[in-house]
Amino acid sequence: MAVWTCKEFDELNVYELYAILQLRNEVFVVEQQCIFQDADNKDQLALHLMGWNEGLLTAYTRLLYPGHIYKEASIGRVITSSKFRRSGFGRQLMQQSIDQIYARWGIQPIRIGAQLYLKKFYESLGFQQDSGLYLEDGIEHIEMLLPNNL
């Protein structure tokens, strides 16, 4: 069972920030073998949703307010640690992310840039493909939109 916390960048302590950066590097750089600039100056204006299990950061997303990247609010840097996959944490993470956006900024559409192989997972949460295929850091992506009429 995860314990969920959501904080502004300035509220993160150094241990939380280190855990976030460590998990993002573990998954995006090492596991996916993707060399890219993760520290992109968007973290400072984001909410950081963290799922903790026995002191370990198991799941994480970065929530960005409407108008920051897209016209809509967005969920990005979606990660579940490889040690906790297929345990329901990914679904909990996305539902918590959606709930946080609705609670903080009102019920509205939410846009994501999704890795193509996760399309069915996001569709199961109500997201719909909203763009053609594009490459981001060498990985196939699509934009998806969760309409606010669900």
The three-state DSSP-derived secondary structure of the chain is: CCEEEEEEHHHCCHHHHHHHHHHHHHHHHHHCCCCCCCCCCCHHHCEEEEEEECCEEEEEEEEECCCCCCCCEEEEEEEECHHHCCCCHHHHHHHHHHHHHHHHHCCCCEEEEEEHHHHHHHHHCCCEECCCCEEECCEEEEEEEECCCC
* For residues 16-21, average pLDDT: 96
Interval 74-117: pLDDT, tens: 999 999 998 877 778 889 999 999 999 999 999 999 999 999 99
For the domain spanning 3-109, the CATH number is 3.40.630.30
pLDDT band at 1 (very low <50, low <70, confident <90, very high): confident
